[in-house]
Structure 1
């Protein structure tokens, strides 16, 4: 048990506890080497996940924290150091005399629109910078938004909720995050990506403006997850530009939400009384190259069903023979600072996949892949395959699940976006890191139905 006065890692002297939650205890401490006050978070994991999982959680916590330590932004709590003592991970962060937005809302219930917009602009700017670094937050909630004594807002605890096991543990599995502020795709058991952070920020600010989360409250977390996964957001009582901004952030389809950079621009327009920028058009209608094949019988099979994580939704499965031919696209690369390569479209029996680099930076890039049902009937599952260029690795993927064997990448649908009507489409995205350069390679894709 850590006590006041203890010296951590030979330099951080604990003074007093200043907070405690599901992820552990926070101490005010002094860095004796640099003679400055810091905050030390002694990370802990949820006992419900077990000792073995807890050991893995500690390793994930250290890995996520080291990744977060790269981020330096005026509206993000800075991680100074990550240390391990007797197998226990500790985060050393800037000391910020503050109150969480959650605590403030206990006293005030709701905040005026101009104050909510100001907080939104600041937090969105920090999250946009994090996304550009390939870092997701995964638990944007009022409890993780800190308001300093000068009124400056900062976001804390990037990625730590998933790493330490904070969240909902059910008989069917584990969901990291706070149910009332989860994006629908995450509540439905999918792996959330950057759009899930956008939704969570919208839900957090909706709570501040409306006095209740966008799906209401429920003492039963499973019932609340069902609401988030299936129902629509409660229409806000407020109107005006801020309500419209929150509506855009809270769209059910992740592909229809603004990026975090766009969210920042929207909040800044509200705070400056400027007209809102129009919604960025989503390019879903693309010319697809079809490959003619002889018709083969379609074999239909009924499946016992897959249990949707934490929700118990049974999904039937239709099996469609997949083909092997693809339309290959040339592989090219673009140096940092140049225009990303044009998107590529490849097809297979029943579906087509369109690959587009949407952002790139030295050492990494972001990709959006659009999957379209290219068959005359609905499909119940899809899979996209490609070869990862040498020296590239996927660090995060949303709206699906992926496996990598050598350089072969396979992405399969999430539970919520498996079914596509005829000519229907969905998207998944990922962050890839490279050993050098911005990695603007264009692989050829194979899309197969399941």
Structure 2
């Protein structure tokens, strides 16, 4: 093992160890050529994988580290150099006086939502830049998030967990990453991709907000992996926009998660006190989207066939009316709907329900609330009966309760007041046991 005072690659003088883990030892060192402090990581690999696999891991470490060295971002630890010589390989990186988020959480157990959101914004911006370069991190955990003395957060160790063979051993080989923060697909043995980084970031921030990872903890790594692969996330105790963002990141279906660039936008909205943008539709691969021509009128009465039912993964539309006039919507034909209209005085508060995306066992909904009155609305409430076997796992831009099968969504503080003819939206993610995402509930909209 390398000792303090040794010179690596003829220029990096090792000073003191500042960290040690399964992936090797980190040294504070001095770059004698450029006269600056650097961090030198002396990589190691898990001896359980054997000599031949260890050599392969060594070469992979060098290859991935060189790929990562292309990334330059203010919230990612920069890799300056990659050195392959006896005792190594070595990664020469930016030195940041810091503590890992894991160490911070040992002292504080959990962090305030505002602080978690700030960390999420910084780290997601770095990961979005990495994904744009084609780099997958594969091990986004509290141990790889560094918190500097000024509060700046930086992500470290891109791709190195897989390269060094560090991770949980399974019957088929190695699963790279820290078990408690793995995505379900990686826990099930699939390769980590961009959506896996999204899930792991959500898990990391969930741990910081809730005090425990989203699937809990277990000393038995195999048992924990099975739980991650099979079970649902433990619902967060916290509410509010940050919890809603984390639920979007922690969707079981990788295709239902936002891209990392969208994750950055979500955290920008949370830290800026703005409403969350609705999730972008994500049709399943091979699904052909049909274009629907929407009438240029205001919302139609549901009895006038104001709903649109398309194929799986496409939009389902339902026009809604107040409590006094609940009407079940019917699918429209290819012909334009009859010109049935209702005055603003008759409707008051109306809404439109759309399934914007669906996948096996779940779907995503956007509801648009519309003020049909000539005066401002001080608030609104939307209710409907949840179909049998369906349950809501997250809702944004509103506050919701479920009593039995009745769902009640009330306005958030920021979108309570609606001017005449104005609209607002809220969205939700729902899971279903029977796979029927095409149920069209009858909704009612009540004004305050």
Q: TM-score when scaled to structure 2?
A: 0.64
SS class of match (2:91)? strand
CA-CA distance at 1:150 after TM superposition: 0.4
User: Structure 1 164/12 Cα, relative in aligned 2: closer, same or farther at 3 Å?
Assistant: same
Matched, 1:274 2:269: no
Structure 1 Cα separation of the partners of residues 86 and 44 of structure 2: 13
CA displacement, residues 16-65 of structure 1 (integer Å, 9 cap, x when unaligned): 11110000000000000001000000000001111110001010000000
Matched, 1:4 2:8: no
User: Structure 1 210/371 Cα, relative in aligned 2: closer, same or farther at 3 Å?
Assistant: closer
CA-CA distance at 1:192 after TM superposition: 1.8
Query: 2:54 aligns to what?
Result: 54
Query: 2:331 aligns to what?
Result: none
Counting only pairs closer than 5 Å after superposition, residues 17-416 of structure 1 correspond to structure 2 as: 17-86=17-86, 88-284=88-284, 285-286=287-288
CA contact (8 A) 1:57 1:163 kept: yes
CA displacement, residues 238-260 of structure 1 (integer Å, 9 cap, x when unaligned): 00000000000000000000000
User: Structure 1 171/283 Cα, relative in aligned 2: closer, same or farther at 3 Å?
Assistant: closer
How many residues align? The count is 295
Structure 1 Cα separation of the partners of residues 204 and 280 of structure 2: 23
SS class of match (2:251)? coil
User: Structure 1 150/250 Cα, relative in aligned 2: closer, same or farther at 3 Å?
Assistant: same
Structure 1 Cα separation of the partners of residues 224 and 37 of structure 2: 40
Structure 1 Cα separation of the partners of residues 179 and 164 of structure 2: 16
CA-CA distance at 1:283 after TM superposition: 2.5
CA displacement, residues 55-111 of structure 1 (integer Å, 9 cap, x when unaligned): 010100000000000000000000000011127210000110000000000000000
Structure 1 Cα separation of the partners of residues 271 and 359 of structure 2: 37
CA contact (8 A) 2:2 2:87 kept: no
User: Structure 1 203/17 Cα, relative in aligned 2: closer, same or farther at 3 Å?
Assistant: same
Structure 1 Cα separation of the partners of residues 236 and 84 of structure 2: 45
CA displacement, residues 358-390 of structure 1 (integer Å, 9 cap, x when unaligned): xxxxxxxxxxxx999xxxxxxxxxxxxxxxxxx
Structure 2 Cα separation of the partners of residues 86 and 219 of structure 1: 35
CA displacement, residues 303-322 of structure 1 (integer Å, 9 cap, x when unaligned): xxxxxxxxxxxxxxxxxxxx
CA contact (8 A) 1:140 1:181 kept: yes
CA-CA distance at 1:282 after TM superposition: 1.2
Structure 1 Cα separation of the partners of residues 116 and 182 of structure 2: 19
SS class of match (1:26)? strand
CA-CA distance at 1:422 after TM superposition: 11
Structure 2 Cα separation of the partners of residues 176 and 423 of structure 1: 35
Larger radius of gyration: 2
Compare relative contact order (CA 8 Å, sep 6+) and give the higher one, 1 or 2: 1
CA contact (8 A) 2:42 2:87 kept: no
SS class of match (2:235)? coil
Q: TM-score when scaled to structure 1?
A: 0.64
CA contact (8 A) 1:48 1:169 kept: no
Moved over 4 A (4+): 421-424
For structure 2, the 5+ residue unaligned runs are: 291-357, 361-433, 438-448
User: Structure 1 87/18 Cα, relative in aligned 2: closer, same or farther at 3 Å?
Assistant: closer
Structure 2 Cα separation of the partners of residues 371 and 216 of structure 1: 26
CA displacement, residues 195-215 of structure 1 (integer Å, 9 cap, x when unaligned): 000000000000000000000
CA displacement, residues 384-430 of structure 1 (integer Å, 9 cap, x when unaligned): xxxxxxxxxxxxxxxxxxxxxxxxxxxxxxxxxxxxx9999xxxxxx
SS class of match (2:83)? strand
For structure 1, the 5+ residue unaligned runs are: 289-369, 373-420, 425-450
User: Structure 1 43/271 Cα, relative in aligned 2: closer, same or farther at 3 Å?
Assistant: same
Structure 2 Cα separation of the partners of residues 80 and 42 of structure 1: 14
CA contact (8 A) 1:14 1:29 kept: yes
Structure 1 Cα separation of the partners of residues 130 and 289 of structure 2: 34
